[in-house]
Amino acid sequence: QTIGRGLRLYDDKPDCLVIDLVDVCQRHSLMTTPALFGLHPDFDLEGEDATKSAKAVQQMSIENPTVLDAQSIAEAERIVSQEFDPFSIAEPPEEVRAMSNLLWREVGKSRYRADFPKSRDHDNNSIRGYLEIQQDMLGNWNLTLTHSKGEVTQLRNYNDLNLVMQAADKHVSTNYSSYLPLMKKDQNWHADPATEAQREFMKKLFVTVEPGMTKLQAKKAIDAALSAKRKRNFRSKRKKKTQDVQVGTFAHSPN
């Protein structure tokens, strides 16, 4: 509140100097423009439009959720270009898991994510993206749906985590019921041993088949490998396109 008053516009007042004598900033943080768009509070927009930057980061987070910790577009691109270990994302605390029937992952402080499984169907109910629950600066919990193109839809906002978790369950069961068998937690098939088909496919993708690997672990490893393969193909095509442009430029350059 004090800082807000200091930031009020006034004639001949070019800036506001804040001196924190008791380390309040160790417990609280200022609301920044990037934070309002779901980015890291210290995200450097580098003069770019906040909406476009947020959309770009959200789109990259489809492949690698840890990109949400990036503090610039360059860092986000570097993170998403690296191999992603799907097992590096922790499960939420038990008390949080008990609030929902969905399989959530903790992707940051007070931030949870439930991915929609990849689907080749193109009907009206097919989707690629994820649900996310995040606590805002006011202590409320926001439920959003991020689409594959980085578009974010606000679904619910509650001051209670349990309520927003229940809202997420209802949203999936009402709108995307066909995904429930793959999105629900503690499914029987999760703990089953990986199938022979999964193991063979992992070998073709040059993915290490760990002893005792379950179906769920194999599925995540395959998804991560396919995602990495798509990124390599994309970078290869982009590099070839750049080389073609350079060759064309040299071909038309004067002798």
Q: Which residue has the higher pLDDT, 171 or 243?
A: 171
* Segments making up each domain of the chain, as ranges: 1-87, 89-184, 187-242
**pLDDT of 253:** 46
CB 102 within 8 A of CB 114: yes
Q: pLDDT tens digit string along 244-255? A: 555 555 444 444
**pLDDT of 99:** 93
**pLDDT of 119:** 56
**pLDDT of 123:** 45
- Residue 140 and residue 132: Cα distance in Å, rounded? 14
Quote the pTM value. Answer: 0.53
Burial (CB count <10 Å: 0-12, 13-18, 19+), residue 43 = buried
Q: pLDDT tens digit string along 190-249? A: 677 888 888 888 888 888 888 888 887 887 788 777 766 666 665 565 555 555 555 555
Lowest mean pLDDT among 82-91, 124-133, 157-166: 82-91
Cβ-based neighbours of 148, under 8 Å, separated by 6 or more = 59, 62, 128, 129
